[in-house]
Amino acid sequence: MNITFRQLKIFEAVARQLSFTRAAAELHLTQPAVSMQVKQLEQEAGVPLLEQLGKRIHLTEAGAEMHRYARAISTLLTEAEQVFGEMKGLKRGRLNITVASTANYFVPRLWATFRVRHPDVTVSLDVTNRAGLIRALAENQTDLVIMGQPPEDMDLVAESFMPNPLVVIAPPTHPLASAKNISPQRLQGETFLMREPGSGTRSLTERVFAEKGLDASTPIEMSSTEAIKQGVEAGLGLALLSVHTLEMELALQRLVVLDVEGFPVLRDWYIVHRAGKRLSAVAQAFRDFILQETTAIVHVPQV
């Protein structure tokens, strides 16, 4: 097949967006130009890659295969560009980082320090939930991921770099706010505020509850950690959150950490990438920075 990289790049955008219009906007091309390149690719492949049902575009089986090859080829070319750039002594670089939404409470401070030392490096920072983190790793869409517990069913390199204590929080007016050595069973029947399914915080909360013999069968679901903190402050219920998300609220005494037996639950933060992935010089430098200097920059609130 006489396929060009331009055709693959355009097709990858259409396949990902499932829209000629959005792909054209992303690539700064006209829609007819995008349609023509996809049509030429289909002619070279000899099979339909897309089908339109009503107003929606769908990938055919062949189109899904072509999309997989297009992503793989794009990744290899990017790696080649990085390798040859480093061989030429290139100092500039770009870093793609994907982080858990909870980690976004401290990652900007780390990035700010790193950038002072490497001012010519640019970064793309994607903040997402656990499902998005796993997707980014599975599809090799990012250089490095910062997350809680890494998935065990993927071939990854995961290195812990900082403790991640999990605590039960309440408003200062809660009846248990000043109690000591609270039995976990005393929390039974309390309403808990939780993240949405697919969130790492939600999965972790459910695992901890199972370990402690607690039942959160009727939680209030909220789409962000900030919404949970505000809900707890308003008296809607309790929550289990990383202490890294609570620095301001604890300092201002808007929230309190309950003295529950068996808490804090100690977990770790990890920096993760695909096993076998060839890290660029910039990605390697940022990984080393995270592993060696995080605890000197990020303060873990004492509870």
Cα distances (angstroms) measured from residue 7 to each of 12, 73, 279: 9, 12, 27
Asked if pLDDT for residue 88 goes beyond 60, the answer is no
Tell me which residue has tokens 């000043």. 178
- pLDDT band with cut points at 50, 70 and 90 for residue 206: confident
> For residue 76, what pLDDT is reported?
87
Q: Nearest Cα to 239, choosing from 191, 186, 301?
A: 191
% of the chain surpassing 90 pLDDT? 64
pLDDT score recorded for residue 94: 82
Question: Would you say residue 1 has pLDDT above 90?
Answer: no
Q: What pLDDT, on the 0 to 100 scale, is given for residue 85?
A: 67
Mean pLDDT of the chain: 90
| Position 303 confidence tier, pLDDT thresholds 50, 70, 90 | low
| Separation of first and last alpha carbons in the chain | 63
Q: What is the structure's pLDDT at 278?
A: 85
Per DSSP, the three-state class of 242 is: strand
For the packed helices 281-297 and 107-117, what is the interaxial angle rounded to 10 degrees? 120
Alpha carbon 81 to chain centroid, angstroms: 25
- pLDDT, tens digit (0-9, with 9 covering 90-100), for 220-278: 999 899 999 999 999 999 999 999 999 899 999 999 999 999 899 889 999 999 998 98
Residue predicted with more confidence, 83 or 127: 127
For the cut 90, the answer to whether the pLDDT of residue 31 exceeds it is yes
The neighbour count for residue 54, using CB atoms within 10 Å, is 5
The Cα–Cα gap between 17 and 25 comes to: 11
- Rounded mean pLDDT, 215-221: 77
> Beta-carbon neighbour count of residue 146 at 10 Å?
25
Question: Buried b / exposed e across 278-297, counting CB within 10 Å, b at 16+?
Answer: ebbebbebbbebbeeebeee
- Do 272 and 145 meet the contact criterion of CB atoms below 8 Å apart? yes
What is the reported pLDDT for 202? 84
Q: What six digits make up the tokens of 99?
A: 């982080």
The residue assigned the tokens 């219009």 is 21
**According to the model, what pLDDT value does residue 91 have?**
60
Domains located in the chain, CATH noted: 5-83 (1.10.10.10), 90-162+268-297 (3.40.190.10), 164-266 (3.40.190.10)
The Cα 128–Cα 151 span in angstroms is 15
Choose among 114, 44, 109, 53: nearest CA to 284: 114
* SS3 state at 89: coil
Helix runs in the chain, H state only: 5-17, 20-27, 31-45, 61-87, 107-117, 130-138, 200-212, 225-233, 247-251, 281-297
Please report, as a single letter, which amino acid is at residue 180: K
Q: Please answer whether residues 95 and 121 qualify as being in contact, where contact means their C-beta atoms are separated by less than 8 angstroms.
A: yes
Torsion of the alpha carbons at 13, 17, 19 and 21, rounded to the nearest 10 = -70
User: pLDDT value at position 99?
Assistant: 96
Report the pLDDT averaged over residues 4-13.
92
Query: pTM of the full predicted structure?
Result: 0.69
Would you say 141 and 274 are in contact if contact means Cβ atoms under 8 Å apart? no
Q: Quote the CA–CA distance of 42 and 45 in Å, as a whole number.
A: 5
Tokens linked to 144? 């490095």
Mean pLDDT, rounded, for 20-34:
93
Give the confidence band of 188 by pLDDT, cuts at 50, 70, 90: confident
pLDDT tens-place string over residues 120-153 = 888 889 999 888 999 999 999 899 999 998 999 9
> pLDDT value at position 215?
76
% of the chain with per-residue pLDDT over 70: 96
Amino acid (1-letter code) at residue 119: P
Q: What is the pLDDT of residue 86?
A: 63
